[in-house]
Amino acid sequence: MDLKSGLPFWLIKNGLSTNYERLEKNAETDVLIIGSGITGALVAHFLCENNIKCIIVDKRMESTGSTTASTAQLQYEIDEYLFDLIEKVGEKNAVKAYEMCLESIITLEKIVQKLKIDADFKRVPSLYLASDAKGKKDLEKEFEVRKKHGLPVKYLSDKELLSKYNIKRKAALYNNQSAQVDTYKLCQAILNYHRKNSGLKVFSHTDVVKIQSEKNSITATTNKDFSIKANKIAAAPGFESEHLLDEKVMQLSSTYVIVSQPMKSVDLWKEKCLIWETARPYLYIRTTADNRIMVGGFDEPFQDPKKRDALMEKKNKDILKRFKKLFPESKIEIDFYWCGTFGGTKDGLPFIGEHKKHPNMYFALGYGGNGITFSVIAAEMIKDMYLDKYKEDNIFKFDR
């Protein structure tokens, strides 16, 4: 699958990995992880921390799937309103999903600190703007539901929004529990740390084309006909899950991102909050460590790369126009742009854990705007499942 086009900023900023090792003989390990993106890296982190031997394989260059295309806003807020999610999956599970996302940002912060990773992880507040009158009503309802369940949230009126942030919208929800990161750098740093300290092996350009499960083990065969025998496979293939699952569990779309030239601090909004909005598809905005503005959105409900790429220039203009409507005085000019595949599920939640048709496998499929927070959750759950310590009801199971 063609996951992205254009020039993803993170890849240019950080450069390609210098690790090109391919798998060139048969291998054995405790857990084989398919995918070297942020999900695979985090799965490896939790397993390696528990002295479980891991091999990661990736058919691409290391970590160059969706992880390089991400805008990497870390929010506890899921694409689905909490009040909508309650309708879909019940109050207990919906609230739990929100709480787990909140916790996952703290978990990621701890990983960054423990491994001493410099990946521009930064705590920033988040503003969820009402796009119109309906959006305002929805935010009022959402505020009450989140407050009832003790989730961190503040309601901002149009006057407060204007005086504090110079934004003209009817209302917003604010929280100070969000963060941003350079996911590609983070992913590479986690892989390098465990390569050095835990004997993690990562093989790029190694495509898993066949999987055979035995009673107590599982064997993957690569495109070069080498085999890897493991106790379990953890599949973290990002949006390319269909070939491993034999089932379509998500709807794919295309999304577009622009990155500005570095700005002067005074040209940015207060607290450099993450910004998103109630319109669907929504615009999502953040800043970078070197004071660039990154804006994404104007999603199209298809995945066809040719059609997607043909729209890139128009989308850049549309995004810029919409951004300038929000910040009319901004002197924003584009330096980089790209577009990428994006996935979503019916209830906005990921799929994590075992699948009855695929014994000895765990899946970590964290879709949507919370892809990275879901990756953290998936990685920790898979570690517990492998160690037979996972006793809770899995709210992200396939047959929910």
Ligand X SMILES: Cc1cc2nc3c(=O)[nH]c(=O)nc-3n(C[C@H](O)[C@H](O)[C@H](O)COP(=O)(O)OP(=O)(O)OC[C@H]3O[C@@H](n4cnc5c(N)ncnc54)[C@H](O)[C@@H]3O)c2cc1C
The interface with ligand X within residues 107-166 (CB under 6 A) comprises: none
Residues from 230 through 249 that contact ligand X (CB under 6 A): 236-238, 240
3-state secondary structure of 22: coil
CA dist 277 and 76 (Å) reads: 15
Among 82, 373, 381, 383, binds ligand X (CB under 6 A): 373
CB of 288 to ligand X, least distance (A): 13
Least distance between ligand X and beta carbon 250 (Å): 11
Instruction: Rule CB under 6 A: choose which of 29, 35, 121, 156 binds ligand X.
Output: 35
What is the C-alpha radius of gyration for the chain, rounded to an integer number of angstroms? 21
Report how far residue 222's alpha carbon sits from residue 188's, in angstroms, rounded to the nearest whole number.
Answer: 23
Identity of the residue, 89 or 101, whose beta carbon is nearer to ligand X in the bound complex: 101
Can you tell me the distance from the alpha carbon of 38 to that of 77, in angstroms, rounded to the nearest whole number?
Answer: 20
Q: How far is the CB of 356 from ligand X (least distance, A)?
A: 20
CA distance 124 to 228: 42
Draw the binding track, 280-319, toward ligand X (x: CB under 6 A; -: no contact).
----------------x-----------------------
Among residues 11, 23, 31, 34, which is the contact residue for ligand X, using CB under 6 A? 34
Q: Phi, psi (5° rounding) for residue 131?
A: -80, -25
What's the CA gap between 220 and 233, in Å, rounded? 8
Q: 5, 93, 178, 370: which one contacts ligand X (CB under 6 A)?
A: 370
φ, ψ of residue 398 in degrees (nearest 5): -65, -40
Residue 75 in contact with residue 178, Cβ under 8 Å? Answer: yes
Enter the tokens of residue 108.
């990621």
For the chain, how many helices (H) and strands (E)? 11, 20
CB of 367 to ligand X, least distance (A): 7
How many whole angstroms separate alpha carbon 312 and alpha carbon 238?
23
Q: Does 37 bind ligand X (CB under 6 A)?
A: yes
Cβ atoms of residues 366 and 374 within 8 Å: yes
Binding segment toward ligand X, per CB under 6 A, in 24-32, 66-74, 141-149, 164-172: 66-74
The Cα–Cα gap between 266 and 219 comes to 56
The stretch among 58-66, 131-139, 153-161, 305-313 that binds ligand X (CB under 6 A) is: 58-66
Q: Which residue spans within 301-357 are E strands per DSSP?
A: 334-344, 351-355
Residue with Cβ nearer ligand X (39 or 345): 39
How many chain residues interact with ligand X (CB under 6 A)? 37
Task: Find tokens 């269909």 and name the residue.
Answer: 242
Q: Which of 5, 17, 29, 67 binds ligand X (CB under 6 A)?
A: 67
Nearest to ligand X of 60, 164 (CB atom): 60
Q: Of 29-37, 43-51, 98-106, 263-271, which part binds ligand X (CB under 6 A)?
A: 29-37
Q: Which is nearer to ligand X, 55 or 86 (CB)?
A: 55
| Closest chain position to ligand X (CB) | 371
Taking CB under 6 A as the criterion, which residues in 172-231 touch ligand X? 207-208
Residues 335, 309, 182, 371: is their CA dihedral positive or negative? Answer: positive
Peptide bond into 359 cis (omega under 30): no
Interface residues with ligand X (CB under 6 A) are 34-40, 57-60, 65-67, 69-73, 207-208, 236-238, 240, 255, 257, 296, 340, 342, 366, 369-373, 375
